[in-house]
């Protein structure tokens, strides 16, 4: 033990850690860490940010504790040195110890300068004509809750940060949280979930307000017109958790940006929580002042990606269950394969299917009905299956490496798979015989013709072949309809 240095101890820890988590996670969360010192059985490591430290605590606490025990013995401790980027761009070293759980980060204490402030009673004087707002309204949709927000690789970071915020509003290092991503990917749902959870867990302790940037702008314009700009500012400065959706609409609106800049500063300084969303990353929003862009990046910017197949499947299953229906996995698979670009389309597909079934008094929804009902929607998001995908399906079925069908080998099982893949490529793609031949290792079109006629012949003579091909056709149809 005496011969250990900070570097060698940490490198031993890394070896253990590598064996326990995926390579990707190891690379993302552990490789960037630097060992700093080893003194009195305490290893100090430097992590790049407060967020980093919180992430390690949240996800790897137990693993780190047992790793340290293995490398440094039972008395071993891990101490973090956190390089915090603060709003004033100063660096701050902060230490936290394992195994005891640390106290929450020492962010600015929440200071409420309005001692007689009662969120529930404050009136919002900035009402767009036609919209009635008696008390301060959170404007939250009660359906947008974490319980209904399916987690996947596409949203894991943003969702974790959102959860952390709702547990400790204003006293975390994700201030502001900036969530961005394409349309229908769940930004509004996620940021409203934070508001709903805070209201559920903390009641009136926090004045939560959700507002779209468009509404904010309209209210502001109205306030200026009515000489009530300072009331407008006061109102927004009283919010404890301010959620502003679609912030990209501030683009080009200089006065609104200026007003928002001052509100942002005041809230941030008072330790109030700010949550923003946009269809793109802060730096990519055009016509927004640099000082605002830089503030948007003070906390955490997290993007939402297009959900992967498994998440799409889980979302569909959940949406069907929410409607009291359990759909056959074939149907979920069909929809998940055909609606890939965003969650709103997925949801639209399932709503249309359920609505049609209910109107037609259908007792059991089957795949044929689903294909029929959704065929127009599918057409617009129709994906042409590629020869490569067909090769993948066929090789997967035969349990062989995909490259094999593109190689020269004459092994019987590979020849058979290659011929079937050629046959299916002709049937399901618009590619010419020449193109198909080229994609199978540069064969000429007569080889493709021979493959197709061989498969056709076997189809009429061998039930086993017929079954294999029909299984493959089903897979391809589900993927390409």
Ligand X SMILES: Nc1ncnc2c1ncn2[C@@H]1O[C@H](COP(=O)(O)OP(=O)(O)OP(=O)(O)O)[C@@H](O)[C@H]1O
Stretch that binds ligand X, among 74-82, 184-192, 362-370, 439-447 (CB under 6 A): 184-192
Strands ordered across the beta sheet of 177-180: 208-212, 241-245, 273-278, 177-180, 300-303
Residue 113 annotated as binding?
no
Residue 73 annotated as binding?
no
Q: Which of 184, 282, 299, 437 binds ligand X (CB under 6 A)?
A: 184
Task: Confirm or reject binding of residue 187 to ligand X (CB under 6 A).
Answer: yes
Query: Per-residue contact track with ligand X, 270 to 309, x per CB under 6 A?
Result: ---------x------------------------------
Task: Confirm or reject binding of residue 139 to ligand X (CB under 6 A).
Answer: no
Residues contacting residue 216 through CB under 8 Å, at least 6 positions apart: 244, 256, 260
| Distance from C-alpha of 112 to C-alpha of 174, rounded to nearest angstrom | 20
Task: Confirm or reject binding of residue 160 to ligand X (CB under 6 A).
Answer: no
> DSSP string spanning 25-61?
HIIIIITT-EEEEEETTEEEEEES-HHHHHHHHHHHH
Stretch that binds ligand X, among 22-30, 86-94, 149-157, 250-258 (CB under 6 A): 149-157
Q: Which of 188, 193, 338, 429 binds ligand X (CB under 6 A)?
A: 188
Closest approach of Cβ 133 to ligand X, in Å?
22
Stretch that binds ligand X, among 111-119, 131-139, 186-194, 253-261 (CB under 6 A): 186-194
| Distance from C-alpha of 481 to C-alpha of 334, rounded to nearest angstrom | 9
Number of residues in contact with ligand X, rule: CB under 6 A? 16
Task: Confirm or reject binding of residue 215 to ligand X (CB under 6 A).
Answer: no
Residue 252 annotated as binding?
no
Closest approach of Cβ 274 to ligand X, in Å?
17
| Distance from C-alpha of 342 to C-alpha of 155, rounded to nearest angstrom | 12
Task: Confirm or reject binding of residue 312 to ligand X (CB under 6 A).
Answer: no
Task: Confirm or reject binding of residue 313 to ligand X (CB under 6 A).
Answer: no
Distances (CA, A) of 460 to 456, 469, 470: 7, 12, 13
Other beta carbons within 10 Å of 80: 23
Q: Which of 344, 382, 411, 427 binds ligand X (CB under 6 A)?
A: 344
Of 83 and 306, which CB lies nearer to ligand X in the complex structure?
Answer: 306
Structure tokens at 349: 């597909």
Task: Confirm or reject binding of residue 47 to ligand X (CB under 6 A).
Answer: no
Q: Phi/psi at 273 (nearest 5 deg)?
A: -90, 135
- What element of type H or E holds 446? helix 445-461
> How many Cα atoms sit within 13 Å of 300 on the Cβ side?
22
Other beta carbons within 10 Å of 393: 21
Task: Confirm or reject binding of residue 183 to ligand X (CB under 6 A).
Answer: yes
Residue 186 annotated as binding?
yes
Q: Which of 45, 64, 96, 185 binds ligand X (CB under 6 A)?
A: 185
Q: Which of 56, 96, 189, 253 binds ligand X (CB under 6 A)?
A: 189
Task: Confirm or reject binding of residue 170 to ligand X (CB under 6 A).
Answer: no
> How many Cα atoms sit within 13 Å of 192 on the Cβ side?
19
Task: Confirm or reject binding of residue 347 to ligand X (CB under 6 A).
Answer: yes
Q: Closest Cα to residue 275, out of 246, 250, 241, 318?
A: 241
Other beta carbons within 10 Å of 326: 11
Q: Which of 10, 52, 55, 149 binds ligand X (CB under 6 A)?
A: 149
Of 164 and 243, which CB lies nearer to ligand X in the complex structure?
Answer: 243
Stretch that binds ligand X, among 20-28, 146-154, 247-255, 258-266 (CB under 6 A): 146-154
Structure tokens at 296: 């948007």
| Distance from C-alpha of 292 to C-alpha of 261, rounded to nearest angstrom | 6
Task: Confirm or reject binding of residue 339 to ligand X (CB under 6 A).
Answer: no
As annotated, the binding site includes: 184, 186-188
- Which residues form the interface with ligand X (CB under 6 A)? 148-150, 155, 183-189, 279, 315, 343-344, 347
């Amino acid at each position: 033990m005496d011969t250990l240095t900070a570097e060698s101890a940490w490198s031993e820890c890394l070896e253990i850690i590598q064996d326990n988590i995926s390579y990707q996670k190891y690379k993302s969360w552990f490789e960037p860490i630097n060992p700093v010192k080893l003194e009195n059985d305490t290893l100090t490591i430097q992590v790049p940010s407060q967020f980093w430290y919180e992430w390690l605590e949240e996800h790897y606490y137990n693993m780190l504790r047992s790793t340290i025990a293995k490398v440094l013995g039972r008395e071993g401790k891990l101490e973090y040195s956190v390089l915090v980027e603060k709003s004033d761009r100063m660096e701050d070293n902060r230490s936290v110890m394992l195994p005891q759980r640390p106290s929450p980060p020492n962010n600015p204490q929440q200071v409420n300068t309005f001692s007689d402030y009662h969120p529930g009673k404050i009136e919002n004087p900035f009402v767009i004509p036609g919209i009635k707002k008696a008390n301060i309204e959170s404007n939250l949709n009660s359906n947008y809750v974490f319980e209904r927000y399916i987690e996947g690789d596409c949203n894991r970071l943003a969702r974790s940060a959102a959860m952390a915020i709702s547990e400790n509003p204003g006293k975390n290092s994700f201030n502001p949280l900036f969530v961005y991503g394409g349309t229908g990917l769940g930004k509004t749902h996620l940021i409203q979930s934070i508001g709903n959870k805070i209201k559920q867990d903390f009641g009136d302790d926090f004045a939560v307000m959700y507002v779209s940037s468009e509404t904010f702008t309209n209210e502001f314009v109205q306030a200026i017109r009515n000489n009530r700009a300072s009331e407008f500012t006061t109102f927004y400065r009283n919010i404890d958790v301010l959620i502003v959706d679609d912030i990209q609409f501030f683009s080009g609106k200089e006065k609104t940006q200026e007003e928002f800049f001052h509100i942002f500063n005041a809230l941030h300084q008072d330790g109030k929580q700010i949550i923003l969303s946009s269809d793109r990353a802060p730096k990519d929003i055009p016509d927004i002042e640099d000082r605002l862009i830089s503030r948007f990046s003070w906390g955490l910017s997290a993007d939402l990606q297009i959900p992967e197949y498994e998440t799409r499947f889980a979302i569909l299953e959940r949406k069907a269950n929410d409607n009291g229906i359990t759909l056959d996995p074939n149907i979920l698979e069909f929809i998940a394969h055909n609606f890939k670009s965003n969650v709103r389309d997925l949801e639209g597909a399932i709503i249309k299917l359920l609505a049609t079934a209910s109107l037609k008094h259908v007792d059991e929804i089957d795949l044929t009905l689903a294909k029929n009902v959704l065929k127009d929607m599918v057409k617009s998001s129709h994906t042409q299956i590629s020869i490569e995908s067909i090769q993948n399906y066929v090789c997967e079925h035969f349990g062989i490496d995909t490259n094999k069908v593109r190689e020269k080998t004459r092994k019987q099982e590979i020849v058979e798979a290659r011929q079937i893949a050629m046959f299916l490529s002709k049937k399901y793609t618009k590619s010419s015989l020449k193109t198909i031949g080229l994609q199978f290792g540069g064969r000429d079109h007569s080889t493709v013709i021979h493959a197709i006629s061989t498969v056709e012949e076997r189809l009429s003579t061998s039930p086993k072949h017929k079954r294999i091909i029909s299984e493959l056709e089903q897979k391809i149809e589900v993927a390409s309809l």
